[in-house]
Structure 1
Amino acid sequence: MQIIKLREDFIKLGQALKAGGLVESGVDAKLVIQDGLVKVNGNTEIQRGKKLYDGDIVEFNHETIKIEK
C-alpha cells in the first residue's frame, strides 16, 4: 500500500493516481476512471475530479493508495 500525504485539504482522484504512479498521465487516469476500473473506499468511482480526503483508500489494478493528512 502506498501512502500519499496531503499538502492541501484534498487531492483529486486523477491526481492521486498519477502521484501514486498507477497511471502515467492525466489522460490515462481519465480513461481508467471512466471505464469503472477505480474504486474509492470500496465503491467504483467514475468522477475524475472526485475529492479525496484523509483516510480515503483508492484501489486500481491490484494496487492500493491511502490518503493521509
Structure 2
Amino acid sequence: MIKFKLEGEFIPLIQLLKATNLVQTGGEAQIVVSEGEVKYNGEVDYRKRLKVRQGDRIEYNGQKIEVV
C-alpha cells in the first residue's frame, strides 16, 4: 500500500495518480479514470476532477493508495 501525505485540503484524483507514479501523464490518468479502472473508497468512480481528501482510499492496477 502506498501512503500519500496530503499537503492541503485535497488533491485532484488525476494529480494523485501522477504523484504516486501509477501513471506517466495526466492524459493517461484521465483515460484510466474515464474507463472505470480506478476505485474510490471501494467504488468505481468516473469523475476526473474528484477531490481526494485525507482518509480516502484509491485503488488502481492492483495498487492501493491511502491518503493520510
TM-score, normalised via structure 1 length: 0.95
Runs (4+) of structure 1 exceeding 4 A deviation are none
Unmatched tracts of structure 1, length 5 or more: none
Q: How big is each residue's C-alpha offset from its partner over 1:10-35, in whole Å with a ceiling of 9 and x where there is no partner?
A: 01100110111100000000000000
Is residue 2:42 matched to residue 1:38? no
Question: For residues 51 and 58 of structure 1, what CA distance do their matches in structure 2 show?
Answer: 12
Shift of 1:64: 0.5
Question: For residues 42 and 31 of structure 1, what CA distance do their matches in structure 2 show?
Answer: 19
- Which residue pairs with 1:15 in the alignment? 15
Q: How many residues align?
A: 68
Percentage of identical aligned residues: 38
- Which residue pairs with 2:48 in the alignment? 48
Please tell me the root mean square deviation across aligned C-alpha atoms, in Å: 0.6
Which AA in structure 1 matches 2:47? Q
TM-score, normalised via structure 2 length: 0.97
Question: For residues 64 and 26 of structure 2, what CA distance do their matches in structure 1 show?
Answer: 18
Unmatched tracts of structure 2, length 5 or more: none
